[in-house]
Amino acid sequence: MSGALLPQAVAARFHLPPGVTYLKSHSVGCQPRAAEALLRDRLLTPWAETGEAWPHWLAAIDDWRAALASLLAVEARDLCPATNVSAGLSRYLSALGAATPRRTILLAPSAFPTIGYVVSGLATEGWTARTLPAGADVRDPESWAAALDDEVALVIAMHVSSNSGALADIAGIAAAAHAAGARCIADSAQAVGIVPVTPALWGADAVLGTSVKWLCGGPGAAWLWVAPHDRTALDPAERGWWSHENPFEMDIADFRYAPDARRWWGGTPDVAPFILSAAGIAEIAAIGVERVRAHNIALQTMLRDAIEAKTPQWRWPTGAIGGTLCIDTGADQPRVAAALDAHGIKADFRGSVMRLSFHAYSGAGDAERTANALSSSSLQA
């Protein structure tokens, strides 16, 4: 596995918190060193020098769309920048009412809570949320197919679960949804940047993502990708002047949807978050998602080989997982948390589940220090 590790020089391209082993990229990816200069050059300098800097700022957003489109192998015109995943999902759902008579949305009980909150907020508009059975395998398209019927309008599936790390078969889930006459939207927030995210190959109808985690782009730069077949078929109810075919026409009595993903943009776009996001995308693209993934798996394997036999009471993940190693430590959780803290290991927990994420800037030493912390005498007593 050592041959899969990235060179140590990669870590020097990121700001890493001093004195600790940082394993929380599933929450916030570390800042690229190039981000500060890029923000200055693309946002602050044009503003200072020109005052009204919108041509420069809009060019920066276009460059962000192009960079992300290249990473995802999609067309830039099908990408809509959004403040966060909730906003992107809300915009997509605002269009479904007029597109289908069905009124049920199917999701997993382990979906990130914001997904459920957005969906449940549609109850007053006649929508109903349905979840898979608690024990269903969210990775398996058959689990989704068994829950589908002619009432389901939309399936929302997490590409990688934030609670378990489970890596879903999005292509299979999308195919099951389509066979039942439903659409499928994938939440790639915990996947993009660490595992390949390929919307066009999946056959999904839409994909949500964010830059704050594995893409190392900071908060405020999420997106909604809408498949080309829905490019002009869906008309979002949530709209603004940037949703217009010509935002600068300025005729309040004449609204025409933009013919591409701008129809989903809404009002005046943010700029700074997408410049910072572009810095993160550039770093991940330069390294290569497949190489980041191989590096991640190698470090996961090092840790697992070192301590799994010593912790038979813990529940280790089985089956395909994403970049986050989620281990249920059960009753040991307080002692595990204390051991991590004592050794300067920055991880986190969902209940008793410990979440550890090795990124491109992690190294073999990080895996060894984590193994030592989790093999400490305080845990073996």
As a whole number of angstroms, the distance between CA 177 and CA 259 comes to 26
The per-residue pLDDT for range 127-185, each reduced to its tens digit, is: 999 999 998 999 999 999 999 999 999 999 999 999 999 999 999 999 999 999 999 99
Domains of the chain: 2-31+288-380 (3.90.1150.10), 35-285 (3.40.640.10)
The per-residue pLDDT for range 269-304, each reduced to its tens digit, is: 999 999 999 999 999 999 999 999 999 999 999 999
The per-residue pLDDT for range 51-104, each reduced to its tens digit, is: 999 999 999 999 999 999 999 999 999 999 999 999 999 999 999 988 999 999
Q: What share of the chain is helix, strand, coil (3-state, %, to 5)?
A: 45, 15, 40
Predicted pLDDT at 131: 96
As a whole number of angstroms, the distance between CA 222 and CA 207 comes to 11
As a whole number of angstroms, the distance between CA 139 and CA 117 comes to 22
Rounded alpha-carbon distances, angstroms, from residue 168 to 29, 93, 140, 154, 202: 22, 22, 7, 17, 11
Q: Assign 2 a pLDDT band (cuts: 50, 70, 90).
A: low
What is the DSSP code (8-state) at residue 142? H
Q: Assign 238 a pLDDT band (cuts: 50, 70, 90).
A: confident
Rounded alpha-carbon distances, angstroms, from residue 74 to 80, 103, 200, 273: 12, 29, 7, 21
Q: Assign 376 a pLDDT band (cuts: 50, 70, 90).
A: confident
Task: Find all residues with CB under 8 Å of 220, minimum gap 6, and list them.
Answer: 83, 84, 212, 270, 272, 273
Predicted pLDDT at 145: 98
Over its C-alpha atoms, the chain yields an Rg (Å, rounded) of 22
The per-residue pLDDT for range 311-328, each reduced to its tens digit, is: 999 999 999 999 999 999
What is the DSSP code (8-state) at residue 52? S
Between strands 206-210 and 222-226, the pairing is: antiparallel
What is the DSSP code (8-state) at residue 29? P
What is the DSSP code (8-state) at residue 15? -
The per-residue pLDDT for range 40-50, each reduced to its tens digit, is: 999 999 999 99
Predicted pLDDT at 90: 94
Q: What is the mean pLDDT of the chain?
A: 95
Predicted pLDDT at 379: 66
